[in-house]
Amino acid sequence: MAILLHYGVRNLRTRKLTTVLTAGGMALVVFVFAAVLMLDAGLRAALVATGQYDNIVVTRRAAGTEIQSIVDREQAAIATSQPEIAIGASAGRLASREVVVLIALRQRNTGVPTNVGIRGLEPSGLALRPQVRVTAGRMFSPGAAEVVVGKSIAERFDDARMGGMLRFGGRTWAVVGVFDGGGSAFDSEIWADSDQLMQSFRRMAYSSVVARLADPQAYEALKTRLEGDPRLTLEVKRERVFYEEQSQTLSNFIRYLGITLSVIFSIGAMVGAMITMYTSVANRTAEIGTLRALGFRRTSILAAFLFEAVLIALVGCVAGLLLASVMQLVHVSTLNWDSFSEISFRFTLTPGIVLQAFIFAIAMGVIGGLLPALRAARLKIVDALRSG
């Protein structure tokens, strides 16, 4: 059997151009397949990193996003005073009543107006997001017309760079710092003081309440009580679930489009593999006859040709994955349809995607190589020897 495997490898090396072209086609398919999964993984990673497991988000019922949600002061006060919510450092509750609005900013390179989310937080809001670090400048001071901007906002919008001035809500705001949200959706946000923001936009109500649970297990109890309270029109979700739901439309779109494309493209690549393998079998009829005459079984011949097809697929897979891993350097910014604001994320290669790509490539190789390999295995010794 080892001889036959060696034979397959040597054959690929002899027909270099054909091997390269076939593997090249497969590499492109694997590249598209992996790139789509990486995009989806990146989007999910960004949104999962945004939510903390033991945080909850309280919004108006059926609002879905913070932009659509309205939580008035009275309801916010009830929500923040629940016993399940942790006590913060300064003896207050570890809860932040927040307001989120969208403003249109012009992008640096293209000048295209883009919706950017501005979040107004209370001081405890920072403690609720341990993944956020200020990397340049300082945090905004409560009560001042100051903002800090997410990393990806600072990179992409002229006015939002460190030391710049932003004009919105009838006031001018100084950019006093840049923060790194650790790849989360916060990287695409601008943060300011909650009360200042509400006054500027003449809002009477908050958008949401974010709070830390003292005991993560108490979530169900809190949810049941708050949602059952007839005074309130609120909905409680774990922060992680809340952000996951926000990625759903975009994630499904990327996934469906990507899987459909991969399947269609793989037909093309499998056809390519089939052509190569059929030719390879036809050209080597006499050799196959010789092998059979030497005593190799039909199953061994079948295995040898399948192995050859899979080998081409594997070469293609490795090349495709290498190409795809370069994509990790690329940042994607697009409108998130659920939250209606800009989100920025990175192509992310995970071990799971590598595994899926290999399975996908091997499947392409097996399907493309099976029929030709069967033809090779079925050849009669006499006919095969005569044909040479």
Partner 1 sequence: MYWLKLALRNALRHRLRTALTVLGLVVAILSFGLLQTIVDAWYAGANNASPNRLVTRNAVSLTFPMPLSYRDKIRAVPGVHAVATANWFGGIYIDKKNFFPQFAVDPAAYFGMYREYVVADDEWRAFLRDRKGVIVGRKLAQTYGFKIGDTVPLQGTIFPGVWQFNVRAIYEGAQPGTDTSQFFFHWDYLNETVRARYPGRANQVGVFVVEIDNPDQAAEVSGAIDATFRNSIAETLTETERSFQIGFVKQTEAIVIAIRIVSFVVIFIILAVMANTMAMTARERSAEYATLKALGFGPGVVVLLIFGESLAIAGVGCLLGVGLTFPVGDWFAARMGTLFPVFEVSGGTVALQFACAFAVGAIAAIFPSRRAATVRIVDGLRAIG
Least distance from C-beta 68 to partner 1, angstroms?
5
Of the pair 21, 78, the CB lying nearest partner 1 is at 21
- Beta partners for residue 58, in sequence order: 209, 236
Find where tokens 């059979």 sit: 292
Q: Is 102 a binder of partner 1 (CB under 8 A)?
A: yes
Q: What are phi and psi of 237, to 5 degrees?
A: -140, 150
Least distance from C-beta 327 to partner 1, angstroms?
11
Of the pair 234, 291, the CB lying nearest partner 1 is at 234
Find where tokens 């029109």 sit: 233
Of the pair 82, 280, the CB lying nearest partner 1 is at 280
Q: Is 355 a binder of partner 1 (CB under 8 A)?
A: no
Binder among 8, 12, 22, 56 for partner 1 (CB under 8 A): 22
Q: Which residues contact 69 (CB under 8 A, 6 or more apart)?
A: 59, 60, 63, 207, 208
The site string for partner 1 over 109-128 (x = CB under 8 A, - otherwise) reads -x-xxxx-------------
Binder among 3, 264, 326, 381 for partner 1 (CB under 8 A): 264
CB distance 313 to 75 below 8 Å: no
Distance separating alpha carbons of residues 347 and 313, to the nearest angstrom: 23
Other residues' Cβ atoms within 10 Å of the Cβ of residue 171: 13
Overall residue count recorded for the chain in this entry: 388
Q: Which residues contact 244 (CB under 8 A, 6 or more apart)?
A: 44, 47, 48, 51
Binder among 201, 218, 244, 255 for partner 1 (CB under 8 A): 201
Find where tokens 């012009």 sit: 106
Of the pair 53, 253, the CB lying nearest partner 1 is at 253
Binder among 183, 281, 342, 348 for partner 1 (CB under 8 A): 342
Q: Is 45 a binder of partner 1 (CB under 8 A)?
A: no
Q: Is 261 a binder of partner 1 (CB under 8 A)?
A: yes
Considering only residues 145 through 184, tell me which ones interact with partner 1, judged by CB under 8 A.
168-170
Considering only residues 280 through 339, tell me which ones interact with partner 1, judged by CB under 8 A.
283, 332-335, 337
Q: What are phi and psi of 229, to 5 degrees?
A: -70, 120
Q: Is 231 a binder of partner 1 (CB under 8 A)?
A: no
Distance separating alpha carbons of residues 57 and 50, to the nearest angstrom: 12
Least distance from C-beta 93 to partner 1, angstroms?
27
Binder among 141, 279, 328, 387 for partner 1 (CB under 8 A): 279
Select from 58-66, 87-95, 136-144, 287-295 the region that touches partner 1 (CB under 8 A).
Answer: 58-66
Of the pair 77, 264, the CB lying nearest partner 1 is at 264
Find where tokens 């694997």 sit: 30
Binder among 12, 29, 234, 349 for partner 1 (CB under 8 A): 29
Least distance from C-beta 369 to partner 1, angstroms?
13
CB distance 29 to 269 below 8 Å: yes
Binder among 1, 9, 87, 104 for partner 1 (CB under 8 A): 104
Least distance from C-beta 89 to partner 1, angstroms?
34
Beta strands per DSSP E along 123-170: 133-137, 146-150, 165-168
Distance separating alpha carbons of residues 339 and 374, to the nearest angstrom: 54
Query: In terms of DSSP H, where are the helices of the chain?
Result: 2-14, 16-50, 73-80, 124-127, 151-156, 194-200, 219-228, 239-246, 248-283, 285-294, 298-326, 351-378, 381-387
Least distance from C-beta 22 to partner 1, angstroms?
6
Instruction: Quote the DSSP letter at residue 131.
Output: T
Give Cα separations from 106 to 114, 115, 116, 169, 263 (angstroms).
Answer: 6, 9, 10, 16, 38
Q: What are phi and psi of 180, to 5 degrees?
A: -110, 115
Select from 2-10, 178-186, 260-268, 302-310 the region that touches partner 1 (CB under 8 A).
Answer: 260-268
List of residues contacting partner 1 (CB under 8 A): 17-18, 21-22, 24-25, 28-29, 31-32, 39, 60-64, 67-68, 101-104, 110, 112-115, 168-170, 201-202, 204, 233, 253-254, 257, 261, 264-265, 267-269, 271-272, 274-276, 278-279, 283, 332-335, 337, 340, 342
